[in-house]
Amino acid sequence: MYLQGLTAVLGICLISSFVSAEVVTGQDPETGLRSWTWIHEGVSVQLRQLLPDQTRAFFLGRGFGRDEADRIGRSCVFQTIFRNDGARPVEYDLDTWSVGHQNGRLKVRTREVWDPEWVARGVDDAARIAFRWALLPSVQGFEPGDYNWGMTSVGLAPGEQFDLSITVNIAGEPVATEVPSILCAEDR
């Protein structure tokens, strides 16, 4: 279903100020949800919008209370798919990624950023473990052919627009780029 959306690409090819790469945008014809995929030397990072209600329901089903599930749902969450279809090993660290929003820079809300908040709010261990497993790992390495996915959160309100600065290391060499004009899903 989602691949059909990608074949109906609204695609654009961008030259980044950091590295020449391709950014392809797509839209699922059934849901209207959008995606952004950065591709360079066989490495790709895809962000797919998740509706706040989808995210709320997912975390309610994993033991979060309504207030906490709403907090996550309203924090601009994406399904993120990281692939290494290239020929060299790749690593990333989400602490090197940042969100450009309203002339400022924010950090991606990683597991390590969220966890102290859940502890302070008294979220039980089982729900916190489910949360950690649902999010994209904060640091990961990939050999050729490897991939992984998980949720990422940028901490913005539904409907907000931002630019995402991404840095990956391909065979130990840093590659940095910016994916412009990403939209947080509306709260419908």
Span 150-183, pLDDT tens digits: 999 999 999 999 999 999 999 999 999 999 999 9
**Residue 188 has what pLDDT?**
85
Residue recorded with tokens 């797919």: 48
pTM of the model: 0.86
- How far, in whole angstroms, is CA 173 from its chain's centroid? 22
Q: What is the pLDDT of residue 7?
A: 34
Q: How many residues does the chain have?
A: 188
| Per-residue pLDDT tens over the stretch 86-142 | 999 999 999 999 999 999 999 999 999 999 999 999 999 999 999 999 999 999 999
